[in-house]
Amino acid sequence: MASRLNPYLNFRGNARQALEFYQSVFGGELRMNTFGEFGGREDATNDQIMHGQLETPSGYTIMGADTPPEMALNPGDNITVSLSGTDAAELRGYWTKLSTSGKINVPLEKQIWGDEFGACVDQFGIPWMVNIVAQQG
């Protein structure tokens, strides 16, 4: 899989409804995972969306998730740029360049879903997420 760049939308408890709405607008295949599926939470957010991804027939990708209550969510600036794929060297290079003069919120390292993931804000205040898909085999 080549690397891809797409928007990542953040919600407060209504990611499922929003992503289903976008699917009704754009069509395509929608996959969603809850916090509970990954064992990450044992509270009211257990059934909320940890990660959702809509792949449309036109080639658009929209990702989104519910923001846990302990994290800030400010409507209007609740969009992050996502870089993902299997080319680990390419994605690590992007990570290094984006995070060096910025602020690292989540170090780029292996996560509970098996991929390497990191989140940072670049020197211009733009939030980025980098996800390196785990190699199967």
Domain coordinates in residue numbering, the chain? 4-132
Q: In a 3-state reduction of DSSP, which class is residue 115?
A: coil
Instruction: Assess contact for 124 and 36: CB atoms under 8 A.
Output: no
- What is the pLDDT at residue 106? 96
| CATH code of the domain made up of 4-132 | 3.10.180.10
- For 82-124, how does the pLDDT look when each residue is reduced to its tens digit (9 = 90+)? 999 999 999 999 999 999 989 999 999 999 999 999 999 988 7
Please state, for a pLDDT cut of 70, what percent of the chain lies above it: 96
pLDDT, tens digit (0-9, with 9 covering 90-100), for 17-29: 999 989 998 899 9
Cα Rg, the chain, nearest whole Å: 15
